[in-house]
Amino acid sequence: MKLLITSKIPKEILEDLENHFEITIHDSEVPLTHDEIKEKIVGHDALLCPLSDKIDKDIIDAAKDLKIIANYGAGFDNIDAEYAATKNIVVTNAPAPSSAISTAELAFALMISAARNIVSGDKLLRQGEFYGWRPTFYLGSELYGKTLGIIGLGNIGKNLAKRAKAFGMNVIYYSRTRKDDFEKEYDIEYKDKDSVIKDSDFLSLHTAYVPELHHMISTKEFEMMKESAILINASRGPVVDEEALAEAVIQKKIAGAALDVYEFEPKVNDKLLVLDNVILSPHLGNATYEARMEMGESARDNLIEFKENKTPKNKVN
């Protein structure tokens, strides 16, 4: 089978795949364009791609020999999986237990950085504007005793809640299904979504993306939030209306934000780029060696299982 890999991947995973497939690889972290993928996919039986590659109807139609699309990542909203199914093309994702830990740690790092002005403070110092310790200089806020609101209490949300409790924070959450046992074990409180938005000092988003959640956080929600609140988004970009977010920060409806994902990724709203009280991270949520290796192993196994005429365990369509 001929396998097209559209991004640089860990060498260990590549070496394993080379034992099973005839491989064409775009060995770079600079993404291929839509048209380049459409051209390169011709004649290949399998595709391994990162979640930043949009695999739409046009690419699928160009791939006359394609039998499987293996996403390198737990998400798969970048792939038109339903259309692929009509062409008898299997789509798989690559969940990794370490991904939830890595993303929760990143979200917590964003929260600390925003609360203590670490990123803008670094910039200030490098610009020569640090003149020594002063009682009122560049004050931030402790996390201890503050309320963290989590929307989406899946594995990432749970890992974030555990870390927040260790820092002495109050944790409230909204999720489609209540997690009664987790609530009792970690002393966290379930509330309706609007109450979580209103009552949080830090509001952290951890929902999977579905079209109904487009702009889940927009002008109305920013009006509901505390003026001292900080928004954290390490889930999916389109759940936040970036234009509304920029206006909310500029107009001081909220105190700031820390983002790892973007509505039109990799593009970022120009207004956000110039705001010192908005931290912008380049989608590093699960960018750890541990998580990316687990994902790679999962994607590798999906491809090999398919080649051996087995149903891949992470088939999603």
Q: How many CB atoms lie within 10 A of CB 209?
A: 16
The CATH homologous superfamily of the domain defined by 98-280 = NAD(P)-binding Rossmann-like Domain (3.40.50.720)
Is the sign of the CA dihedral 8, 11, 12, 16 positive or negative?
positive
Q: What is the DSSP string of 36-78?
A: HHHHHTTT-SEEEEETTS-B-HHHHHH-TT--EEEEESS--TT
* 151 touches 177 (CB < 8 A): no
Is the sign of the CA dihedral 120, 254, 149, 259 positive or negative?
negative
The reported pLDDT for the residue numbered 90 is: 98
Cα angle at 233 between 175 and 80, to 5 degrees?
Answer: 80
* 60 touches 89 (CB < 8 A): yes
Task: Give Cα separations from 267 to 5, 92, 233, 300 (angstroms).
Answer: 24, 27, 16, 30
Q: Place 209 in a pLDDT band, splitting at 50, 70 and 90.
A: confident
Residues 6+ apart with CB under 8 A from 220: none
Task: Give Cα separations from 141 to 108, 211, 255 (angstroms).
Answer: 14, 35, 11
The reported pLDDT for the residue numbered 301 is: 98
Number of Cα atoms under 13 Å in the Cβ half of residue 66: 29
Q: Place 273 in a pLDDT band, splitting at 50, 70 and 90.
A: very high
Q: Among 73, 63, 137, which Cα is nearest to 103's? A: 73
Looking at the chain, the domain(s) classified CATH 3.40.50.720 span 2-96+288-307, 98-280
**pTM for the whole thing?**
0.88
* 185 touches 153 (CB < 8 A): no
62-89 average pLDDT score: 95
Level-2 CATH architecture, domain 2-96+288-307: 3-Layer(aba) Sandwich (3.40)
144 pLDDT more than 90: yes
Q: Place 208 in a pLDDT band, splitting at 50, 70 and 90.
A: confident
215 pLDDT more than 90: yes
Q: Give CA–CA dist 156/173, Å, rounded.
A: 13
Is the sign of the CA dihedral 38, 44, 45, 50 positive or negative?
negative
Tokens found for residue 91? 């789509």
The reported pLDDT for the residue numbered 216 is: 97
Q: Give CA–CA dist 136/282, Å, rounded.
A: 32
240 pLDDT more than 90: yes
| Residues that are catalytic | 236, 265, 283
